[in-house]
Amino acid sequence: MYRHSIYFQFILYDDCGWLAHVQLTLDDAVRFFHGLTPEEVLQRRESYKWVFRQLLRLCPSKGRDTERPVLDACIRTFSNPKTDSGATYQIFDTVLCIPENEYPQ
């Protein structure tokens, strides 16, 4: 069965500097975006615009002074010993922290 999915890769920073390249995929991405499924984002223009606005808040263009949302992120680490490609980091069980009146409709 064919299933649409959401996949993002972020570089997380904090006050100390670079943390990690992290991935956000599948059901974890749906939870992160307050239950919006990939199908809804593809089919409903308002859902697409909402996700796009949230991404702009997370990653504003240079010179743009935007208040970024808080991320209280859970990150898991895993590796594949067969490929020796190092660690992979993935966001899970995390929701984008935004005011309730800004939740998707």
pTM: 0.79
Question: What 3-state DSSP class applies to 61?
Answer: coil
- pLDDT tens digits, 23-54: 999 899 999 999 999 999 999 999 999 999 88
Cβ atoms within 10 A of the Cβ of 62, count?
4
pLDDT value of position 8: 87
pLDDT band, residue 64 (cuts 50/70/90): low
d(CA 74, CA 67): 21
Number of residues written out for the chain: 105
Q: Which residues pair with 75 in a beta bridge?
A: 91
- pLDDT tens digits, 11-20: 887 777 767 7
pLDDT band, residue 92 (cuts 50/70/90): very high
Q: Where are the domains of the chain?
A: 7-102
d(CA 43, CA 56): 20
pLDDT value of position 63: 67
Cα distances (angstroms) measured from residue 97 to each of 34, 40, 54, 78: 10, 20, 10, 25
